[in-house]
Amino acid sequence: MSALLIIVIFSFHKTPTLDDKIKKLDFNDHSIYLIQRGTTGKLGNLAKDFNLENKYASHLGIGFVENHQLIIYHVYVDKNKKNHHNLFIENISDFIKPEDLNYLSVWRLKDIDAEKLHGIRESLRKSEEENINFDYVFDKSDKEYYCSEFIVKTLLRNNITIMSEHRKKVTGMARQILQKDTLTYFPVDGFENTHRAEKILEWIK
């Protein structure tokens, strides 16, 4: 094979994009999904410091299929949002829109029967009616959550435990922001080694 032919072949070969990878996923109506993303901004990098092992994930959402598309619920801070509510309901195309996105993984929860599926869906739909704000100080509250806390508590209402709380000493900027020496929290990657979910996609930029 000539060098010219090799160059021509590789010039037409395209590396699959994240959109291509997502389109190939077989999302089904009978599953609940956990979706991690990672970003390279200051908040994203700060959040990664509190993971157990995952070096990339900084945010977590939960979703299910409705009208043939994955709908993701997640608690997030967006300065451009007009109201002060911090619960977002987005399709996966909107979820991956951050310009500094550098990581995405999709997980399917295991052992979710029809009753639990219905309960989780109803819990998420009811959350749309609540005034959910972001929990900046990581205190236990019924109306303020950070991303993984919202998901853990939604699942606990339906008798599903995906992770336990973790304790970590905080220093530097994190200590100044949180005004705490020790943080008790649910890590974004806290479910990964519990065998409660299976990973069906991982993308690293």
Tens of pLDDT, residue by residue over 11-43, are 344 567 999 999 999 999 999 999 999 999 887
Report d(CA 196, CA 191) in Å as an integer.
Answer: 7
Task: Output the 3-class SS for 98-165.
Answer: CCCEEEEEEEEECCCCHHHHHHHHHHHHHHCCCCCEECCCCCCCCCEECHHHHHHHHHHCCCCCCCCC
Residue 5: per-residue pLDDT:
47
Higher pLDDT, 54 or 79: 54
The gap from C-alpha 116 to its chain's centroid, in whole angstroms, comes to 20
Q: What are the tokens at 104?
A: 């995405």
Percent of the chain with pLDDT over 70: 89
Q: What are the tokens at 83?
A: 């109201």
pLDDT > 70? residue 193: yes
Calculate helix-pair angle for 114-127, 147-156, nearest 10 degrees: 130
Tens of pLDDT, residue by residue over 117-139, are 999 999 999 999 998 999 888 87
By C-alpha distance, which of 171, 196, 205 is closest to 31? 196
Q: Which residues pair with 135 in a beta bridge?
A: none
